[in-house]
Structure 1
Amino acid sequence: MVLELSQISSYCGLTYMSLLTAFDVETVAGFVFGEDKDAHMSCLSHVKHGAALSVVWGLVSEEVAHATKESLVAIKDDLHNNQTKRWQAIGTLKHVLSFVNLPWELKKHTINFLLCITDGCVSGEYLGEHSEWSSYMPNIFTALQAIKMVIMYAPEPEVRKKSFALLKAVLADIPDTQRFDILKALITNTDSSSMIAIFIDIVRREMHMEVCNSTSVKEAPDSNNEMHPDMPFWTPSVLELVESVLRPPRGGPPSLPDASDAVLSALNLYRFVLMTESTGKTNRTGVLSRSNLVKAYNEWLLPLGTLVSGIMTENKNDYDQLAVDTVCTLNPLELVLYRCIELVEEKLKQSTT
């Protein structure tokens, strides 16, 4: 049946590229639905599922690919070399990854295909109009969410590993100026502490890379909060990100030990920013301003320290497995937390404004 459908698609002029970029898909859907297109918009996602699966079956079966008389190698090369088409393809193939009931084998082939077209692609700055690339970001964001779910639930370690590589590749393909906002949105829309920790760690790595690549960090004589054009991650927004984990919007300290992965990652990010700004004699994030130091000390670190100390005291003399696991989980967090407290206390002694 798949072979026959592929032949029909080919007969109708629907190439793999047109299916991936979704242009002809929407055109055909509009033709089929006619004047009632708006009333059938809810069906469009199913149409796009079908478009994505048509391509994936070509990846799975050589017979299906041969029936379409198309070169998947040429298509991969075209997508690899064209950012707009690549984003469109990612937006189409996300439907395979997000569809819960599809076999993992199909998702595995989709991951491999996406890795091929994003391998080595580093966006930097997108050269198109702002309105053009920004229109693709919602699709890219939902694609990243779909990849996130594969990382969390794929039964095979190799699939999870490749999915994580794909996550980083897609993020690298996003314009520098948008990448932080996308990561922040992913963190905000994630309940898993481990995934939040992964996203925060990616933020820290991005910031480290910007420091390494920017001579301005070493040469800038002034200390201000203005964003350097080559360092879009080094803004006050990073402190807001840390605060969202260490002092959740609902108020009070985070839930421990459940959120320990996210909290540890946020503390490591805060420590990294604090030490880097101090060493470089910069203050792009505002982390060294006295008001932010006082806020971090009184509202984030001390309440967290009280919570951690209480939990550790409660469990240190208890030898059941849950208590042992809790202590082991909080040990590294406690070490980083008290190092952060020491650093902030040191900076507060030096700060007069």
Structure 2
Amino acid sequence: MAASIVDRLRDAALRCCQDEEIEDLKASTQDFLDMLESPLNNLELRKESSANWLAQCEQVLQEAVDLLDPSLPSGLVLCEKIGLELPKVAVKFVSLSQACQDHCLSIIEDLAENCSPREMFAAFMEALNMYTTSETLICCIPLVQGLSIVFSRLKRRQGQFFQEASIGLLALVRLAAQDEGGEEEEETPMETVQGMDGHNVFTLGQVRAAIVNDIVQLAQTVRETCDTVGVVEQREYFQQRLGMFALQILGITGEKVACPGTEVPVSVMELAELLPFCGLSLLRLLTGDQIEDLIETTSDEISEQVNGKNTKKLEASKGAALAVYWTLFNNQVAEAAEVTLKSIKEVLQFSGRRGIVAALSVAASLLTGQSSRPLSSVAAKGLALVDTILELVSSLTYSFDDEEAERWLALVLRIIPTLQRLQNVVVYALNVEMRRQGYAAFKKVIQDVVPEAARLQCLQMLINDCVSPSLVSLHLILIKDEIARAWPPSPQQQKEPIRDANPLRERLHTGAFASPFISNDVLDVIGSVLRPKNGTPPDLPDQIDSVQSALNLYRFILIRESSGKTNHTGILSKEALTMARKQWLLPLREHLGGVSVGLMGEADEMSSAMALAIDNLQSVVYRCLELNEEVFAQL
């Protein structure tokens, strides 16, 4: 049967070479493709003998390679006449055996090297879009390799072709970087068509790695193509698109290349070397608006909506962060990217608080994963980069202008996403040490980077949107520490000299600056926990941690104000005391009583422990009520 198919394939090839009429050529081309694909559809033979079936597939594909030999006049003619449709069929054989892989790649290379590069670009991209699915991922490998050859042959409009190709290639990279079954899927052999070739066991990891490596190599080919563009403006635009492409690849595949150990993945080195060529500076990517500028320059306003730009920004930010990470922790990458630790510190110092916030935002982009839980390998690198940036800027001082409201309001909006990503590490990290490291970084950002006048507003916004009561509790404890640190000195202490390098501390000492932590804004934060937006008592026992911390904070301020005979926060006014008693404490006492009664009816160990926690919380509420009433009676 195999001989019959081979003969019919030869006959179809001969007719393709001879036919000149469009309809005749279309019919003969379809006959050739049908004959080439027919072994794949021979299910009867496959069931009888998979070995014979595989041999037939290899024999027919080998015959196609011989018929398409471009060194023969007939082979060159055949390539030109069926080249547009052939790639879609040829790549179907790629997963059968090593021989089929070799034959398929030979066909793709012959087409790419000898047919019109523009026509082959269209053919390869059509096939690539068709096979960019989880089930047919392996079929894309020879197509990407063929595109590399095509780009090396293009002589005009290279930038436009790359713009079109980059959309499909990035979609392919995103698919290749996806996790579809957890971490264990990397070790699961990918199903093969014949399921019996012991030399042809493909793992999903191998296929993904091959695709990423081939696309990185394609980017290197495109880099060489850039040099051939004669018009300066067109070349610069081409380079910008290539730079964005390199950053996005690095960002998309970051969870794969950010592997444990100190060895730098080859793809990181090659992509890092592309950045300076494309006019991109890691320093400007890290501390400025170069990513934003790049997005605006390389975005198609007609076809790219806001979500598309947001995706590009996140991917490019991750790519920049990973490049900076490897730069800081590997000298080889530092040389390729032309960056040093000293140069990063100098730029951070020059850019001020705004640049530092931008740098932390880029670094924190590594703390996001494809699920709600950060992936540990990348999150660890993100935390290391955040810590390094914070260490670099720990000794820097800021212009006092940064403290003015019109200056820091924009910074608050910029820093909130970074703080939220650090929160996610605290909540979702896989080990205790990473959670501790995440919260330590969170505190450093709040205390060392966020302007003094904006810290309470930042924490209030985070508390309002936080879904973790334990994390809200930590934020309230941090607010308590800030209140203690910013508390105005007594009249006697104001007379004493202060020797503090921080000008803000001096202004606090002299009373020239009123910290938001020493104002009635703090009461608003407490109220947001004890009486949420809906006006009902908090959800107990789920929110017991945050409620207890809010009560402790209220008691701390109440005692401090009353003992010092001050009222900086307004907590001792009749209105504030009455509001706290009627809207916070009394409804909470009644609610706790109902929860306690409900828990008494349950006899399991967890309910007993929760009942004990509710009892402790009730004692805090009673103490707050007593203090409130004592102070009110003295007014």
Give TM-score scaled by structure 2 length.
0.50
Is 1:106 the counterpart of 2:353? The answer is no
**Percent of aligned pairs with the same residue?**
30
Note if contact 1:183-1:199 (Cα within 8 Å) is conserved in structure 2: yes
The Cα offsets for residues 100-121 of structure 1, whole Å up to 9 and x where unpaired, read as: 4674222212212222322436
| 2:309 aligned to which of 41, 65, 72 | 41
Q: Is the Cα–Cα contact under 8 Å of residues 76 and 116 in structure 1 kept in the other structure? A: no
- Could you tell me how far 1:38 is from its partner in structure 2? 7.4
Pairwise CA distance, 1:149: 0.5
SS of alignment partner, residue 256 of structure 1: coil
Distance 1:138 1:123, change over 3 A: farther
Does 1:274 find its partner at 2:558? yes
Give 1:139's aligned residue.
414
TM-superposed CA distance for 1:327, in Å, is: 1.6
- Tell me the equivalent position of 1:56: 325
The counterpart of 1:301, out of the listed 585, 589, 592, is 585
- The residue correspondences of 1:87-126 to structure 2 (distance < 5 A) are 87-100=357-370, 103-119=375-391, 120=394, 126=400
Q: Matched residue of 1:135: which SS? A: helix
Q: 1:224 is matched with which residue?
A: none
Query: Match for 1:15 among 281, 286, 289?
Result: 281
Give the AA of the match of 2:318: H
Distance in 1, matches of 2:593 and 2:315, equals: 52
Q: Give the C-alpha shift of residue 266 in structure 1.
A: 0.4
1:311 alignment partner, SS class: helix
CA-to-partner distance for each residue in 1:60-107, whole Å, 9 max, x for gaps? 655433422421354246436743321120122222113346742222
Deviation at 1:35, TM superposition (A): 6.7
Q: CA deviation at 1:122?
A: 8.2
CA distance 1:306–1:124, change in 2 (3 Å): farther
Partner of 1:257: 541
Within 5 A, what are the aligned runs for 1:169-318?
169-172=444-447, 173-211=449-487, 214-215=489-490, 229-316=513-600, 318=602
CA contact (8 A) 2:291 2:316 kept: yes
Q: In the aligned structure 2, how far is the partner of 1:44 from the partner of 1:124?
A: 28
Q: Does 1:342 align with 2:623?
A: no
TM-superposed deviation, 1:198: 0.9
Aligned residues between the structures: 344
- Secondary structure of the residue aligned to 1:136 is helix
Match for residue 65 of structure 2?
none
Letter in 1 for 2:272: S
The unaligned stretches of length 5 or more in structure 1 are 221-226
* Bigger-Rg structure (1/2): 2
CA–CA separation in structure 1 for the residues paired with 2:614 and 2:359: 42
Q: Structure 1 residues 9 and 308 mapped into 2: Cα distance closer, same or farther (>3 Å)?
A: same
Following superposition, the deviation at residue 254 of structure 1 comes to 1.1
Contact 1:94 1:143 survives alignment (8 Å): yes
Deviations 1:165-196 (A, max 9, x none): 11111111211111111110010011111111
Q: Over aligned residues, Cα RMSD in angstroms?
A: 2.8
Change (3 A) 1:20 1:263: same
8 Å contact kept, 2:477–2:549: yes
The residue aligned with 1:322 is: 606
- Is the Cα–Cα contact under 8 Å of residues 80 and 117 in structure 1 kept in the other structure? no
Q: Distance in 2 between matches of 1:38 and 1:283?
A: 55
**Alignment check: 8 A CA contact 1:151 1:161 kept:** yes
| AA at the equivalent of 1:115 | D
Deviations 1:211-263 (A, max 9, x none): 2x63459779xxxxxx9724321111111111111111212211111010010
- Note if 1:67 corresponds to 2:336: yes
One-letter identity of the residue aligned with 2:579: K
For 1:181, the aligned partner's letter is Q
Secondary structure of the corresponding residue to residue 517 of structure 2: coil
Per-residue CA shift, 1:299-344, capped at 9, x if unaligned?
A: 2111211222333344347531122121232233222211101101
Q: Deviations over 1:110-152 (max 9, x none)?
A: 2122223224368787434754443232120111011100111
The farther-off stretch of 309-318 and 340-349 is 309-318
Counterpart for residue 127 of structure 1 = 401
Q: Which moved more, 1:266-275 or 1:309-318?
A: 309-318
Q: Check 1:302–1:162 CA distance in 2 against 1; reply closer, same or farther (3 A cut).
A: same
Cα distance, 1:36 vs structure 2: 5.9
Q: Higher relative contact order at CA 8 Å, sep ≥6: structure 1 or structure 2?
A: 1
Contact 2:364 2:383 in 1 (8 A): no
How far, CA to CA, are the matches of 2:418 and 2:439 in structure 1?
A: 13
When residues 123 and 281 of structure 1 are mapped into structure 2, their CA distance, relative to the original with a 3 A threshold, is: farther
Partner of 1:28: 294
Distance 1:231 1:191 in 2: 28
Residue type of the alignment partner of 1:19: L
Kindly indicate whether the alpha-carbon contact (under 8 Å) linking 2:283 and 2:347 is maintained by their aligned counterparts in 1.
no
Which amino acid is 2:361 matched to? G
Q: Counterpart of 2:135? A: none
SS in structure 2 at match of 1:209: helix
TM-score (norm 1): 0.87
What is the letter of the counterpart of residue 534 of structure 2?
Answer: R
Alpha-carbon displacement from aligned partner over 1:255-275 (angstroms, at most 9, x marks no partner)? 111010010000001001111
* Distance in 2 of aligned mates of 1:80 and 1:105: 30
Q: Which amino acid aligns with 1:53?
A: L
Task: Give the partner amino acid of 2:344.
Answer: I
Gaps of at least 5 residues in structure 2 are 1-266, 496-510
CA distance in 2, matches of 1:125, 1:204: 26
Distance 1:61 1:219, change over 3 A: closer
SS of the equivalent of 1:233 reads helix
Moved more, 326-335 or 311-320: 311-320
